[in-house]
Amino acid sequence: MLDIGPIHRREYELEGRLAACTQAPVSGHGKNKLPNNLKAGKGGAVSKKSGGTAGSGLVVIAQAPGRIHFLGEHGDPGAGLYLSTAIDRWVKVAVSARKDNSLRFYAADLGERKRTTLSNLKYKREDRWANYIKVAINLFVELGFPVKGLNFTVIGDIPQQVGLASSVAIEIASAVALRGYLGAKISDMDLARSLFASHQSFLGEVPKIADYLIGLSARNDQFLLVDESGPTVARIKSPFSRYKIILIDSRVPRFGTENELAIRKESLKAGLELLSHNRNGASFREFATMDLIDSMGNFPEEIRRRSLHVVQEIRRVLDAADCLKLGDLTGFSRLVFHSHESLRDLYEVSCPEIDWMVKRAQETVGVFGARMLGQGFGGCTYAIVKNEANNEYRLRIDDYERIFGFRPGIHEFKIATGSRVVPN
């Protein structure tokens, strides 16, 4: 990855040595619950340091990781439950002061520049990546911090459009950099909730708070059991210290997927209404596989299959977390493969290319779980591969291009820590 400090200084003609804010973010450990008193647009539990470091010539740089959901994607739409980690691919954002009220954005990897003003801070489709930085700016404006003109530079090495939450990483890195720049005493847990609210109000779409929690709460060599109903985060030490996470991008073109996913969401909505008899606030977590087996004949078959996937995926997430705690790698692997089979047969969001890659992983000794990643209908698979099995697994994938006509993209990751201010 490019060295963002000199790039930022040169882009905005800044003089002097780069510095990093040394304020340590306040974060919890183990199982953390977000407080309910922090609302978008309110100060809540946040304290503000008047003026912060603004105007001091300080450049603050922060980084945020990508993430992988090992289990839980396409789970309960009302209260997601995920088993996830951060990965060692990052977005870095540098921020410094301007003498005017302009906001300048520079994507060093793309060589693109965007600009706006504080009085005109709004979503613009043509601003693309810069809109995610604006989400973070909007957060601190809404919380009443003294935000003035700012320069931003962003770089990153998270693979794009493959389900690794690169856009969320931009938001988190920008927010952590601004927290340091403004001297804001806001915990990681509160920052996650504030980013969630700011994204929703600024971009007009509902994100997954789990992605913010992972980016801010992750630790090296730890899985995260993220429960959006709390929301809470529980950390589990990884038993995969001698393994790599290998992501394979199928490069399958994805057309018409939004409509297909919308149909599935409607099926889940209908299934939950039938199971709960239209009771408000119901969740799939209240039901077991037997409830759906007993309902056979009373449910439309497609709705029953979609709902069955979600009910069983919730159980798989919890069982997989138990396997990790016990060091039961075989049990964990079995649950991951079963999850993919469910996505293929019940939720029906896989495709032949993805199924082929998962099958090759399943046939390789030293691979402990492989599954579709992301929204489906193409996209990627991940596999947890023992270091000694890496070459064998890659050899088994060699025939993919010959059979399907697409050259796969291959990326290797390790479990990584969450966001932080980067010292300079």
CA–CA dist 394, 415 (Å, integer): 20
CB 106 within 8 A of CB 113: yes
The three-state (H, E, C) secondary structure of the chain, written as one string: CCCHHHHHHHHCCCCCCCCCCCCCCCCCCCCEECCCCCCCCCCCCCECCCCCCCCCCCCEEEEEEEEEEEECCCCCCCCCEEEEEEEEEEEEEEEEECCCCEEEEEECCCCEEEEEEHHHCCCCHHHCCHHHHHHHHHHHHHCCCCCCCEEEEEEECCCCCCCCCHHHHHHHHHHHHHHHHHCCECCHHHHHHHHHHHHHHHHCCCCCHHHHHHHHHCCCCEEEEEECCCCEEEEEECCCCCEEEEEEECCCCCCCHHHHHHHHHHHHHHHHHHHHCCCCCCCHHHCCHHHHHHCECCECHHHHHHHHHHHHHHHHHHHHHHHHHHCCHHHHHHHHHHHHHHHHHCCCCCCHHHHHHHHHHHCCCCEEEEEEECCCCCCEEEEEEEHHHHHHHHHHHCCHHHHHCCCCEEEEECEECCCEECCC
CA–CA dist 244, 113 (Å, integer): 36
Give me the catalytic one of 190, 211, 227, 249: 211
| 355 noted as active-site residue | no
Q: Is 321 exposed, middle or buried, given 0-12, 13-18 or 19+ CB atoms closer than 10 A?
A: buried
Tell me which residues are annotated as active site.
211
